[in-house]
A and B are shown apart, each in its own frame.
Chain A
């Protein structure tokens, strides 16, 4: 494996995932694979996610495919109305791409030129799509244009035929909807609704009163059109839904109002028949309105977070809601919760920092309000969500609710400490909770709850990191803005009624010159505690709690501190807000070196001496990796990210990576993850994109959930016939089956035609797979081998690579032939010999 020239910045989750409504893949006629197995319509869910289009399996909730290629945010995805296996996507980079999402390959790229803000595809318009683009020359005005997609041969095409449909539309994709059979288009902006009829070329404008009523403002927030009737539903900022009818008349239009939401209606969707209407908003409740009646409605409450988008499957069996915290909820047609797809949950503000759970190696951070999420980096899934605050969260803007602000794990992950507080200026409400990991229930159990552990906000919290020591020597330190740090220890619980044997109580309170304590951390061996008090770092003996020494680097206040590890444990690193990174020697109590850097994040690797520091300078984040014993950084990556890096964490690898380059040795044992201020999780990777994205397990998942194609049907039928012939043709069947299970055949059947090598090459392979080796005579043996084979399917990569290599060499058939004979003589000589000896009498059975 060749080491790549540089580390790649890889976005691996989080961010604001959903730029547009999700799309259910259209089902291919809902045919069962065999008796009993039945796949409901819409097997996949496609989502715009940052620069990518994600494809989820509805059966397993897994991310099956990540289709990358756009250079900027994907703003719209729509199925091709004429080929349901294809998907259009539009992006801010000014291109529309047509994908074959089953294979994840871009078929065509149409370059439009200006930024595309929304995409609409109509079944009625054969070769054009509709996009929203900014009006040239004017800021913040947008227009809806229809783009004629040229029918060229090449992959990259220019789409230059634009015709303006509507002017003065809004940029949001939710503000435009196309009516029944594409007869009209409705667009809302502020307090105005415009409807354009394509056939009549008639534009009608309506508006609601602009005056702010006492119930809020009247502005439109979203629009949806009835699939079969002339009816437009609009959502408003005051929570009302208006159903417009008769809007083909300028004067005699009329509307009725549905009102349940107390805050802005975020999205609306009609059911496929149009008999019911779904609406969602901040309340996190999906409302189903029947027959457009104010009195008949059903609710699906407690969806967790505000609903951002609602989309319906084309057959109406499923609908999905995308939430502001990046969760996707799949809902059955009877308004029952079906499943939810959740990666990194986006919370309002990550106050806890990025913490790695030592037990599961999951990233732990704020999740749902008041919850702690455990996010598995490997599977991009939420492992679980721990309710810390344990209070009802009220979905309403402007309420001060208790939130989780700090979290710390004990070194083995046996204890979890959490701090929650209510943001109040005068009198903060604080609570420190200590949780014990219960092996039986495999979850954290509340052990101690301490009300008002500090008088003011808690700024930092850490456990003493001592691996070998006994459990009862565990120490927790909290630093508060009330100018003290407190040491908490476990004590035997004397209360006989207590259910647990230990609880936590305060052991020591330290302070320094009445300065606010801002950071705290333990040295690697746990003997020293460093606590920063504004400008000063104090070092304390962790046994006697004596103040040992102080460091400072005026005039800056200390922003971060950490101790060096392993060979560098004699150093203490601190970053100040005046833009200095300092390294003090604990033995000489002197400044070892300092560097002028505006460090935002300082993160030591727990498994090596390396320390990562992220600086923020003139709108670019830069990464520096260094060892404390040398002032020169080992690795610098300047401007690796446009966003501000908020947090970072080293996540230990399961097994050390083999790394060729000296430069990247620091990535050997741990992987570094960053969280930007848009809550996007990014990492540095040496692997290429494809390698990283398609682990073998996912590849398999794709194969298993392949859609029903005519070919696979034929295959299924064939199998069925065989099962009937099973009795009289037992042996032959088994062998046949073996042939079909052979990876070569499987590959042949499942590889798209355009990537297959030439038939002349495939033919011998295919024939070979059909042949029966003479050695295995007894049926049991054969069966054994079948099992073996199926176990080995994961190791089929050799075969795969062969195929791909062949594909590359396909260009020179002469050479190929020569090589092939050569190959045959070497690797398959044995087989050839076998063929010669083969008894072909079984062929008469066919």
Chain B
């Protein structure tokens, strides 16, 4: 594997925002997720739950509810009182309509996706028609006092159940009248306490399922207004609830971080009598589980601890493999760190500011595993705060460290950073050219002379950077056949000759930068690209897909390399394919051309193309066993994948020079200390 001097960076103080709501696309393979900072993310089930799209948040736009309507359209509503439609191609807000009912607590689309119902602070339930190009207010339903915290449509679209404080109501959609009102009280020693119905679901059988602040999951017969079953699952509130499409399984999330599954099971074998039974408990979260979703093969839960947990239902999965793994996503599937190799600087991207750090240095050497004392501590050079309520889409620092660029939804900023001894001065570059914003990815060329801005419609802007702090728009690269989706990944070759761009439709276009022409398109692969990079010597494009496949494409020859074909013929190791987090960054060692360095959240890997590929019987993670073997035996055991799991969770890894690595870790415990205290629970034996 080789020995490296490693900068173990732990000063990236990223705290991901908690998960506020989840929405599964009906009959589709996507999951929409909203975070407490207003960011909306889309995960693609088919691409191994890859975080496909991210729409950064906005201070004034909280999202309390998300729903898919009319096929692929995603709507969000929040306490700002607006209903927002998102443009998933351009990754920004398409349009926004005022709900006229104060803060919106809940929103639900009907089965056919033609109508949206919103529940407002003032107690009103309003219906909106989903029309092409927007939504239209249709009518108000019977209004009563008390905020509507949750809504659910009957699958036949004729009734709406709404949960409020102490009460749940059923509306007739045609007449708009309240036709049933059920009190969901809780009495202890004649003292009535407020009972909040946090979540509701209307089943096609006419059963209404509610979860409330007393830890109960209750099943009601709406026509008679009677309680059918009541399950107390927790001592604290049950915050969220979701029903499977077949209506035979329910997942609920509680404020203690536990989720429970309910299943509709036959009481006896062969009999028709069925009952809801609480079956599996899961404790993946430490904080409130604010959102749950039930896909056809998995239970999905998101909590305030920023984790998205996907727990597959083993009985619904045909073969064991990638599908069957439990996944926990805490960090975004993209880079938030960029590195100036020559200047040894790191740029950290937060939701509303950037931090520029200089790495520490040492002049001592040591053996493997030793911690070297620093002679210069890492230094926080600059903090750049983004003005306005918009969050940052992307950022980048140039390899020489003298340029920093970032983009928000509506603005693009370029800064010139100058170092004079210990003092640092930042100067904003005036008059940046008007671009098609937002930018989704920024990339400086290796010589820091150009900046590439990934933009909507598959286009990439090329800006020329001018000394001493200016820039000029050079060219717009666009795929010849056009593309509706935005570019989300860029890779530039070291010699500045080639640029590869990946757009939202997963097509990879390679451009020639010398003549600003489209060079070729990498053959389409049915999975999302998670990382790509161009080899500095061979100009081979190395591509990592979300199904953990690796490809190497020779740009000059416009075809896959021989090694790539071998990999496809032999297949990758089973353990490698079953990993559950995508490769987020690829880099190379210029001194060792056969090495590819890649990493995901949980591991760092040096892929040595000169060594044989491991077969499934070999141990993939064999570094520790190799160390104990004698030299001759070691030679026989060697294979291409050299994996290191020492640094977890790994947000970024890059090679500074031939034997110096930088690893950016964000220990989970450090995040936990930033979160509010979880609910106190008595634990046995403590």
Interface residues of A (CB under 8 A from B): 180, 183, 197, 228-230, 243, 245-246, 248-249, 251-257, 262, 292-296
Contact = CB atoms under 8 A, between A and B. Distances in A.
Contact of A183 (B232, B266, B269, B315): B269
Interface stretch (B272-280, B447-455, B588-596): B272-280
Contacts of A251: 314-315
Given A262-B685, A295-B232, A295-B233, A257 B267 contact: no
Contacts of A262: 684-685
A630 to B, nearest CB: 64
Contacts of A180: 268
Contacts of B269: 183, 197, 230, 248
B14 to A, nearest CB: 30
Contacts of A183: 269
Contact of B267 (A230, A254, A295, A296): A230
Given A256-B277, A257-B281, A245 B235 contact: no
Given A245-B277, A254-B261, 18 more contacts: A197-B269, A230-B268, A246-B263, A246-B266, A249-B315, A252-B315, A254-B263, A254-B277, A254-B279, A254-B280, A257-B281, A292-B278, A293-B231, A294-B233, A295-B215, A295-B233, A295-B235, A296-B232
Contacts of B267: 229-230
A229 B268 CA distance: 5
Given A230-B267, A246-B263, A248-B269, A255 B280 contact: yes
Contacts of B233: 294-295
Interface in B366-384: none
Nearest to B271: A230
B279 to A, nearest CB: 4
Given A293-B278, A295-B215, A254 B265 contact: yes
Contacts of B279: 245, 254-256
**Most chain A beta-carbon neighbours within 10 Å: one of B233, B235, B269, B280:** B269
19 contacts: A180-B268, A228-B268, A229-B268, A230-B269, A243-B277, A246-B266, A249-B315, A252-B315, A254-B261, A254-B265, A254-B280, A257-B280, A262-B685, A292-B278, A293-B231, A293-B232, A294-B281, A295-B215, A295-B233
A292 B268 CA distance: 16
A197 B269 CA distance: 10
Interface in B218-240: 231-235
Contacts of B281: 256-257, 294
In the A-B complex, list the 6 residue pairs whose CB atoms are closest, starting with the nearest: A295-B232, A252-B315, A254-B279, A251-B315, A256-B279, A248-B269
Contacts of A296: 232
A291 to B, nearest CB: 8
Contacts of B685: 262
Contacts of B231: 293
Contacts of A253: 315
Interface string B34-71: 00000000000000000000000000000000000000
A183 B265 CA distance: 18
B679 to A, nearest CB: 15
A354 to B, nearest CB: 39
B394 to A, nearest CB: 42
B211 to A, nearest CB: 14
A230 B266 contact: yes
Contacts of A245: 263, 265, 277, 279
B278 A256 contact: yes
Contacts of B261: 254
A292 B232 contact: no
Nearest to B318: A251
A748 to B, nearest CB: 51
Contacts of A229: 267-268
Contacts of A257: 280-281
A197 B280 CA distance: 25
A409 B280 CA distance: 59
A726 B269 CA distance: 61
Nearest to A254: B279
A31 B314 CA distance: 54
A197 B235 CA distance: 38
Nearest to B234: A295
Contacts of A292: 277-278
A249 B233 CA distance: 26
A181 to B, nearest CB: 9
Contacts of A295: 215, 232-235
A180 B263 CA distance: 21
Contacts of A254: 261, 263, 265, 277, 279-280, 315
Contacts of A230: 266-269
B658 to A, nearest CB: 42
Interface in B80-132: none
Contacts of B314: 251
A727 B684 CA distance: 71
A23 B333 CA distance: 63
Contacts of B265: 245-246, 254
Interface in B231-254: 231-235
A229 B277 CA distance: 12
Nearest to A197: B269
Contacts of B278: 256, 292-294
A624 B447 CA distance: 105
Interface in B273-297: 277-281
Nearest to A291: B231
A294 B280 CA distance: 12
Contacts of A197: 269
Contacts of B315: 249, 251-254
B325 to A, nearest CB: 15
Nearest to B684: A262
Nearest to B281: A257
Nearest to B313: A252
Contacts of A228: 268
A246 B232 CA distance: 22
Nearest to B215: A295
B511 to A, nearest CB: 50
**Most chain A beta-carbon neighbours within 10 Å: one of B231, B234, B263, B268:** B268
A249 B235 CA distance: 33
A256 B266 contact: no
Nearest to B273: A229
Nearest to B269: A248
A795 to B, nearest CB: 60
B317 to A, nearest CB: 9
**Most chain A beta-carbon neighbours within 10 Å: one of B232, B234, B265:** B265
Contact of A256 (B268, B280, B684): B280
A296 B261 CA distance: 18
A296 to B, nearest CB: 7
A249 B316 CA distance: 12
Nearest to A245: B265
B277 to A, nearest CB: 6
A168 B623 CA distance: 41
A650 B265 CA distance: 64
Nearest to A183: B269
Interface string B661-686: 00000000000000000000000110
A255 B263 CA distance: 10
A248 B235 CA distance: 33
A294 to B, nearest CB: 8
**Most chain B beta-carbon neighbours within 10 Å: one of A255, A256, A292:** A256
Contacts of A246: 263, 265-266
A262 B683 CA distance: 12
B254 to A, nearest CB: 12
**Most chain B beta-carbon neighbours within 10 Å: one of A253, A262, A294:** A294
Contacts of B684: 262
A371 to B, nearest CB: 27
A262 B280 CA distance: 20
**Most chain A beta-carbon neighbours within 10 Å: one of B215, B263, B277, B281:** B277
A216 to B, nearest CB: 12
B297 to A, nearest CB: 13
A183 B314 CA distance: 27
